[in-house]
Structure 1
């Protein structure tokens, strides 16, 4: 009996391409964070954050030095997390002058720098309640935390976390009872630390549909206090390795438990392709599929 050769694939997870949120909003006097993800191979490249209407002429604010150490310039810092192919920019003590057009960029020598534009807005908000970061992200099936701080006097008030574009009619997922006891909902929990006047929300078992607008809130007579938080899910790359001799064969990606019945979403036409969500690196004998959502 003749048996066809078997191609064994080793699959790993990571991030691919340079991406980031198109817009983020911070509260006057607060801070915000911008996560930008990049493709494998850029770990040792300098990453930087610049401001301007156009990426090619933007003014550089802060830059990494090819390492994971935090670099700071005034109220702005940047740190590379090479293991996650992500660098994070943090802007603190926000003012109205901070609103504008910014760019995440990666420095290259012989080719144009990869970039992604991020529009920053600064709202008056309520000084009584601010989010430590107005934009957070987490890995698929992983977790993330959000911290919100409040002024003295609100310690025994009920705090809540809700989902929806408008905080006045968003869906409350979990809330405290005015104490420091942790309260749990479906894959989400909230705990108030009244000594530090900070309550922490933890989202677990993250799914693609968890990416949305959320709100930290404090319940009070009349209109509740609320501050916006944008939640995104990190893109995921499945990287498959193959042995010598398979370079010119067609590679494909299809999601299903049964190889014989799965529907192919994208495939190569032979030796080279970088299109849509599938890319090939012939020297490393790999092809990668980036997943951005369901």
Structure 2
């Protein structure tokens, strides 16, 4: 307990002001705010309160209840709970140190000590770099110590510890949120965050956090890079209904003995295998490529296809095709059309022959009549 010279002369009250034993620590991040809470005993509701530092002389007083606010300091006295709170804004590293909460009275004021710790609002010296692939999933491991087994775990985007918990995308009390899922293995002391259906926008900085009851929360930093699917090997193809089209699929030589595949879908991680369908025929297999021919194209065959060889869905293992199918301009006629066309052609030929014969007969008749008239 620290005593100071009174700031204001007031009548001596019968009830002394109690103080907590030892110094209570308060924590804040550079650039942010921190609240310093100061309890007081019954009977001091009408007395002036203040916060001071250094030697707590008159010049060291930072804010009083009669001021309300002054610069980066503001004060609020809740007389119902008998706690006055001082908010220190725009924290700087040199704001760290000892402060005293005081209530003025005749004689010596009684104050409670507070110790403020200030940290830079960034994290961390060590960053875990992780790669994922567009449309795929990634699992991020976040270790913690044995004292944090029952503490709240959380995961946020960015690298600002001060706002991480408030902006957390998922926590151990809400383990599933859209594409994010959190799982806590208490035996190993690791909680994991799985992000599914990755997009390029998921690339960036993330923090794994563990909440502490007192003091700063504990964080580990992650830098996630989401790569685009084989953008260098993307091809556009077109086909005509009822005809065939062939996909040429190169692959790395080390995957020659692996399963060769062609699948259809917007993403390689969740596409439908097409190799089991009879219209999809594997051919021309070599040490570096193979072909898949699709026979009797249908309108529904249009879409995005992925082909490659190997069990791992990594960038570069796939070739992406965008297939369009012309269902109108070059659509082959129905067989009945050919029969109708042949019948019409036959009738036309017959009519032509009849007309030719009539014309010839008419010409012969005209010639005979001219000879008779002479």
Higher relative contact order (CA 8 A, sep 6+): 1
TM range (shorter): 0.3 to 0.5
TM-score by length of 2: 0.32
Q: Max radius of gyration: which structure?
A: 2
Greater strand share, structure number:
1
TM-score by length of 1: 0.40
